[in-house]
Amino acid sequence: PLDPRDTATRRWLTALVWPGESGRAERIERSLDIAAADPPLLRAADAADGAIGELAALAPTGATLVVTTPGVLAHVPRARRGLVIDAARAAGTWITLDDPGLHDGWNAPIDPATWPAGRFALSRDGEVLAAVDPLGGFVEWRADAAASAS
């Protein structure tokens, strides 16, 4: 895990921004400022081997837990992605932003023929809420998800 307070981490993450990506470096810097002001608990572990449940057990009683996996599941072998998704859902609210074909964790299948090209799916607990730019440039809220989001 990367420490948002570390100067080298901040340089590395902002250096990953591609030329011409307007606003992305600024969003990363603001996000790092927020994380550095109240540093999260960082632990290197395998989410598919129980780490999510172990960390969830450390949360205060009554806490609202949110597990986010944007950009994570692509780095997990396909056969183990379901384990991570199941653990995230069991721990609390699961939020992700993924290519529609990356996994089968959506509550309803995403039809590639009707899904906008180049857009990722933003979902809460497997319910797709929006088509999004994978790097945070825009969100296209889905009218059919409006009722389920409330």
List own/partner pairs for 40-49 with CB under 8 A and 24 or more apart. 42/1, 42/2, 42/3, 43/1, 44/1, 47/72, 47/76, 47/83, 47/84, 47/87, 47/88, 48/76, 48/80, 48/81, 48/83, 48/84, 48/87, 49/83
Model confidence pLDDT, tens digit, residues 94-132: 999 999 999 999 999 999 889 999 999 999 999 999 999
Domain boundaries, the chain: 1-42, 46-149
Q: Are 81 and 40 in contact (CB under 8 A)?
A: no
> CA-to-CA distance for 109 and 35, rounded, in angstroms?
34
Q: Using CA atoms, how far apart are residues 95 and 75, in angstroms rounded to an integer? A: 17
Reported confidence tier of residue 42, pLDDT bands at 50, 70, 90: confident
Q: What is the pLDDT, as a whole number, of residue 150? A: 52
Tell me the average pLDDT of the chain: 91
For 89-138, give the secondary structure using H, E and C: HHHCEEEEEECCCCCCCCCCCCCCCCCCCCCEEEEECCEEEEEECCCCCC
Question: What's the pTM value of the predicted model, to 2 decimals?
Answer: 0.79
Sheet with 127-132: strands ordered across: 66-68, 93-98, 120-124, 127-132, 139-141
Q: What is the pLDDT of residues 125-149, one digit of tens each?
A: 999 999 999 988 899 998 776 555 5
